[in-house]
Amino acid sequence: MIDVKNLRKEFKKTIKEPGLKGSFKSLFKPQTKRVVAVDDISFEVPKGEILGFIGPNGAGKSTVIKMLTGILTPTSGKCEINGKNPTENRKSYVREIGVVFGQRTQLWWDLPLRETYSVLKEIYEVPDDRFKSRMSFLNEVLELDDFITSPVRTLSLGQRMRADIAASLLHSPKVLFLDEPTIGLDVVVKENIRNAIEHINKQEKTTVILTTHDLADIEALSNRIVMIDKGRNVFDGTVSELKTKYGQIRELHFETEERNAAQALCYEKLFGGNIGGLTLEQEGKAVKARFDSSVVPVSEMLAYTLSRINVTDISVRDADIEEIIRRLYQQGVSE
């Protein structure tokens, strides 16, 4: 369905030296630098899958999405969707896809929302009866009725996002690209939007590619994650695979009378030279130690801790996916 191979995108970037002098210099003799935004990314998405596309800010997610939607031309590499090359025949290609950029809108700013849908109906040549049933379906899933007659510029962000998603689905696209569809929304609206995406994916076997910073989106929706960082592919697999691969992180919580637990415990001894991921936070009595259980097993960690200081109320917890990803982002993963 979607086949991406060795995709690469370079930009030329003007570098300006700081200050007024630098501004003058760059006005007359701009210096440019090659920036590799996407470097050798490959993945495949079968029909009907929801793929979560994640990575820290500036990782190149949006650039990949823009290449997949035919907006940017790749510097090299191949991407093929339904056997079509997005940049080769833009007009016929974009008929088969729906796109939502969370930070922009495709709705007609000054017209009542309903007008946008009738414009799209003509653009995509949706027959009258199909349009009617489609609208009532989208109405039901995304609850557009309350504001369908209001001009778009008067809609709230949550309403606008629902309206935008409906607009991208009007022509029953085979692939739906959602670039941060839940950005800036409250919990209830996020939940609504997730439900709608899930519903449409189940009902119509729409392939969905979703980028987000909200990992709850990923956990609720996607069977699979592709994670990129600095333009490179760093992980491709299911959520549970991510947890087993990077999820050896455990948290040890306990309370102690010890003023300076870190000093008293001196975990460095236990971990030897391999203290990757080890952190210790103390707040009054409560101590939280995070460690990698593939380096030191949980039982050993417990025994060691209990032998060094007096503790009460001790427990061990799994790190959640958010924690894993935070760690990955901070370290800048390399394979």
Partner 1 sequence: MRRAAKIYFPFINAGMQEVATYRVNWIFYILGNVMSCFVSYFIWKAVYSSGGGENLEGFTLPDMIVYIFLMFLTSTIIGSDASYVVGEEVRDGSIVMRLIKPVSYNGTFLFQELGNKLLTEIMLLVPLVVGVEAVRAALMGGIQFNPLSFLIYLVSCVLAYLINFFFNICFGFLAFVVKYLWGANLMKACVVGFLSGTIIPLAFLPKPLEAVFLLLPFASLNYTPVMIYIGRYSGLTLLYYLGLQLFWALAFWGLSKFLWRVSVKHLTVQGG
The reply on whether position 316 binds partner 1 by CB under 8 A is no
For the bound state, the minimum distance from the C-beta of residue 182 to partner 1, rounded and expressed in Å, comes to: 15
d(CA 163, CA 146): 11
CA 51 to chain centre: 10
Nearest to 270 by CA among 227, 306, 218, 324: 306
The answer to whether the beta carbons of residues 96 and 168 sit under 8 Å apart is no
For the bound state, the minimum distance from the C-beta of residue 233 to partner 1, rounded and expressed in Å, comes to: 21
Sites for partner 1 among residues 94-133 (CB under 8 A) = 94-95, 97, 99, 101, 103-106, 108, 110-111, 115, 118-119, 122-125
Site string for partner 1, 220-249 (x = CB under 8 A): ------------------------------
The reply on whether position 11 binds partner 1 by CB under 8 A is yes
Task: Name which of 94 and 242 has its Cβ closer to partner 1.
Answer: 94
For the bound state, the minimum distance from the C-beta of residue 190 to partner 1, rounded and expressed in Å, comes to: 20
The total of other beta-carbon atoms located within 10 Å of residue 20's CB is: 8
Buried/exposed code over 243-259 (b: 16+ C-beta within 10 A; e: otherwise):
beebbbbbbbebebebe
For the bound state, the minimum distance from the C-beta of residue 110 to partner 1, rounded and expressed in Å, comes to: 5
Task: Name which of 35 and 298 has its Cβ closer to partner 1.
Answer: 35
Q: Give the chain's radius of gyration (CA, Å).
A: 25
Task: Name which of 126 and 301 has its Cβ closer to partner 1.
Answer: 126
Site string for partner 1, 25-44 (x = CB under 8 A): --------------------
Task: Name which of 82 and 195 has its Cβ closer to partner 1.
Answer: 82
The answer to whether the beta carbons of residues 12 and 186 sit under 8 Å apart is no
- Give 236: exposed, middle or buried? Use CB within 10 Å, 0-12, 13-18, 19+: middle
Q: How far apart are the first and last CA of the chain?
A: 27
Nearest to 217 by CA among 248, 254, 180: 180
The size of the interface with partner 1 (CB under 8 A), counted in residues, is 31
Q: Cα separations (Å) of 185 from 192, 215, 323? A: 11, 14, 22
d(CA 267, CA 292): 12
For the bound state, the minimum distance from the C-beta of residue 205 to partner 1, rounded and expressed in Å, comes to: 21
Task: Name which of 106 and 195 has its Cβ closer to partner 1.
Answer: 106
Site string for partner 1, 58-97 (x = CB under 8 A): ----x---x--xxxxx----------------xxx-xx-x
For the bound state, the minimum distance from the C-beta of residue 106 to partner 1, rounded and expressed in Å, comes to: 5
Strand-strand pairing, 224-229 and 232-238: antiparallel
Task: Name which of 12 and 269 has its Cβ closer to partner 1.
Answer: 12
**Residue partners of 104: CB distance under 8 A and separation at least 6:** none
Sites for partner 1 among residues 125-184 (CB under 8 A) = 125, 151
Residues in the site for partner 1, rule: CB under 8 A? Answer: 11, 62, 66, 69-73, 90-92, 94-95, 97, 99, 101, 103-106, 108, 110-111, 115, 118-119, 122-125, 151
